[in-house]
Amino acid sequence: MKITNIEAFWLRCPIPKEKQHFSDYGLLTNFDMTLVVVTTDTGLQGFGEAKAAVGSSGSCASIVSCIENELKPQLVGKDARNISRIWEHVYNGTRDHYSLSRGRKFPILGRRGLTISAMSGIDTALWDIKGKVLGVPVVELLGGSCRDKMPAYASGGWAKADAIGEQLLGYTKKGFGGVKMRVGIMDQTVAESIKRVKAAREALPDHIKLMTDAHGTFSVPEAKQFTKGVEDCNLYWFEEPISPDNKIGTAEVRANTFIPIAAGESEYTAFDVRDLIAERALDVLQPDCAIIGGITEAMRVSQLAHTYQLELAPHCWGSAFSFMAGLSVAFASPSANVIEFSLGGNPMMYDLVEEDITVDKEGMLKAPDRPGLGLTPNWDFVKDFKQ
């Protein structure tokens, strides 16, 4: 089953005004993603997502160029079933034969950044193909599901202190047992972030998990001040307190608080996550399948979580394709407890595919049961919003 074509489509869809929100990324008026399509000589297609930005909006032109002009020429003609071999080929380039024969890496210079993101979309599409060929969901290929259902947490929370409680309660009314809110530089001051979290905790029932996400925007002293100010709020975790470039600083923040620290959505490959673990910087690992290196590398991160007795919580803020990829990894991992569910304006989650992605009335997601990722692109949507 040979790869005959690899296509990448930059999609940009306007977010309806009533669903737009303001964060440290500014006012988000559009949602961008790169849809990756791998076609085989049997006519079978697999789909994945590659990200140019962790958030909702960003130019995908470089990723499209990388996929179609750099990676596609390397991979056309290769057997689509050899997912691990293809991963090593892209990561090691012309020295991939050394890597496969010696059992260690001889990586190309682009072993971080957009090359890995581009490869992420291809890798996920290959898992989608393999699942379709075998007639099983991707989670079965990853060892099977560790559970029948998993609780989702509602990811949003941008409102001011006087409205954040009402906003988060709107999520819990839909059945979610956990909610995540944004803090950090968007609040201008640490005191305002603390005020908003306290207002949220006061409004929420005690049994509701409350997470906070600073998008890496605090300084180390600010993050310490924040954790001190919210230590009585029973936070489930504090996500990306400072810049992902400062792993030692993240470890310093973690050493200063009993609040669990989460990170990983901005990291490329399991090697970056290994370094965070080595610095004792985090408690929750958050690989993004559209950034980390695809489902293949996300599962390697899952093994790190299992080995070091840390929690796995894949970053699932993106399109339906990266969501289902992260969901498959989470269900296959014994270290995963909750899964992120976007409550922002996200047409790529709901309008890009023919299938409906929903939680039940108790805020639970069931294990994937359709072949591959179980998703079908809405080609009219792709045509309308292709750049």
Nearest-angstrom CA–CA distance, 11 and 58: 10
Q: Where are the beta strands (DSSP E) in 15-119?
A: 22-23, 26-27, 30-40, 45-50
The bridge status of strand 364-366 relative to strand 149-155 is: antiparallel
Can you read off the two tokens belonging to residue 325? 């990829």
Query: Do the Cβ atoms of 288 and 315 come closer than 8 Å?
Result: yes
Q: Where are the beta strands (DSSP E) in 96-253?
A: 149-155, 178-182, 209-213, 235-239
Catalytic machinery residues = 215, 315
CA triplet 71, 45, 99: central angle to 5 degrees? 35
Nearest-angstrom CA–CA distance, 121 and 103: 25
Residue type, 154: A
Nearest-angstrom CA–CA distance, 218 and 383: 40
Rg (CA), the chain: 20
